[in-house]
Amino acid sequence: MAGFLQELALAFAGALGMVVGGSLATGAAALVTGGLPLDTMADMSRRLKLWAVVAGVGGALVAFRTLESGVTGETRETLRQVVLIGTAFAGAHLGEFLVRLAAGK
């Protein structure tokens, strides 16, 4: 069980970090190129959200293959993957919320 909890924490933190870090990097790029950094950061946080979930679960193909096989009977592993994807989504959503809050959006 400790291994699964660690996996959940890593998925959450990885997705959160990808959204926040990617948004900060694009904000810096907008600043250098004369764009609007806060608007760019808010927009990028929304656009990165799905990719952060995919990265948070460590490559969605394995997770989605497991979900597909769960239809045929492996309920426990399917539930694990659903919880893992949900946790990664929560991290990405929190990251987007924090960036949009900081940007005043």
pLDDT digits (tens, 9 = 90+) for 12-50: 999 999 999 999 999 999 999 998 999 999 999 999 998
pTM assigned to the model: 0.81
Is residue 81 predicted with pLDDT exceeding 90? no
On whether the CB atoms of residues 23 and 45 are closer than 8 A, the answer is yes
For residue 4, count CB atoms less than 10 angstroms from its CB and return exposed for 0-12, middle for 13-18, buried for 19 or more: exposed
DSSP H stretches of helix in 34-74: 37-56, 60-70
